[in-house]
Homo-oligomer: A and B are copies of this chain.
Amino acid sequence: MLLVTCLNPALDITHHVPAVDWAGVNRPTAVFARPGGKGTNVARVLRSFGMSVLLTGFAGGTTGTAVETELGRLGVPTAFTPVAGETRRTFTVVDGNPGGVQVRVALFNEPGPEVSEAEFTRFRRDYDTVLTNASVVVLSGSLPPGVAPDGYARLIEAANSAGVPAVLDTSGEALRAGVAAGPAIVKPNLDELGALVGSRLRTPAGETDLAAVTAAAAALRADGAGSVVVSLGPGGLLAVTGDGCWRALAPVISAGNATGAGDAVTAALAHGVILGQRWPERLRHAAALGAAAVAAPVAGEFSVADYEAGLRSATVSAYQDGDR
């Protein structure tokens, strides 16, 4: 079983409004309410591959119930730890009809419930219990308010003690502390990696500086991460591992929604661990899935045809400093 932990899930509400009056009353022509948070996207992608998945984290209030209900409807098994606060909502206003030209998009992200020390302790107990049945654990997304920056680090230590490889996708201090705890794989994107190491990873012309990215990823390995896979958006993936460095590229077929593409990559990396894939094969899988996720309009979803096309067109090559 793949254990996916999403400590701060969300209910993502989207309103499509043909021509928004930003200072008046609007009637959306289409309304969507979907489970959100990076971990929920990871779990949905893994379910699409027929994998046994358990999604854990915190859920509270009627919004928490809504998230659990929607995940159940999507066939994703959950075992959330209850929290006294209310699970967060994100609210997106799209100025335009679904499928039409989008003029502007405004997002409003609630912070999520404050998690008490006792609630985190309760989660730790639940986590330790389900960890015994897990082959891999994915820790994905931001930490909710109240959880200390070493929250993921403690979960990674527990996974390491149980002999379960951990895949970490987060940012900031949670990423820094998590790396030090020794996860099998971390998957920062370019901005997250740059913020962590405090160095520019783009050339003055705005292009990705692959040499700087490689150095930064190597620094994360030196700090404790087993392997580092950096997602570069349209620039594919750059992996720095104990077995070598690789660059994976999969041409994006059609631009849809980049949100969730990184989560698809994370899901593929965890899936690859379970399948025992070697790195080149695993990165091809991840790059193809990331490209297919961009082509899909909804985070956590992809079409099998796009994924298979991505597998055929993806290139994976050993990377050496100086390559572009």
Which residues of chain A have a CB within 8 Å of any CB of chain B? 13, 15, 17, 20-28, 31, 33, 61-63, 65-66, 69-70, 86, 89, 91, 93, 104-111
CB of A109 within 8 A of CB of B69, answer no
- Chosen A-B contacts, 24 in total, with CB atoms closer than 8 Å, are A13-B89, A13-B91, A15-B110, A22-B22, A22-B104, A23-B104, A23-B105, A23-B106, A25-B107, A25-B109, A26-B106, A26-B108, A27-B108, A27-B111, A28-B109, A28-B111, A31-B89, A31-B110, A33-B86, A61-B66, A62-B65, A62-B66, A63-B66, A91-B91
Q: Give this chain's copy count.
A: 2
Shortest beta-carbon distance from A232 to chain B in Å: 21
Instruction: Give the nearest-CB partner of A33 in chain B.
Output: B86
Shortest beta-carbon distance from A73 to chain B in Å: 11
Shortest beta-carbon distance from A24 to chain B in Å: 7
Q: Which of A26, A108, A111 has the most CB of B within 10 A?
A: A108
In the complex, A105→B25 CA distance in Å? 9
CB of B66 within 8 A of CB of A108, answer no
Chain B residues with CB under 8 A of A62: 62-63, 65-66, 69-70
Chain B residues with CB under 8 A of A28: 108-111
Chain B residues with CB under 8 A of A111: 27-28
Chain B residues with CB under 8 A of A26: 106-109
Q: Name the contact of A107 in the complex, choosing from B24, B61, B66 (C-beta under 8 A).
A: B24
CB of A22 within 8 A of CB of B106, answer yes
Shortest beta-carbon distance from A106 to chain B in Å: 5
**Which 8 A-B pairs give the minimum distances between C-beta atoms?**
A62-B66, A25-B107, A23-B104, A26-B108, A15-B108, A22-B22, A22-B106, A31-B110
In the complex, A17→B17 CA distance in Å? 20
Instruction: Give the nearest-CB partner of A93 in chain B.
Output: B108
Chain B residues with CB under 8 A of A89: 13, 31
In the complex, A69→B64 CA distance in Å? 13
Instruction: Give the nearest-CB partner of A63 in chain B.
Output: B66
Chain B residues with CB under 8 A of A66: 61-63, 66
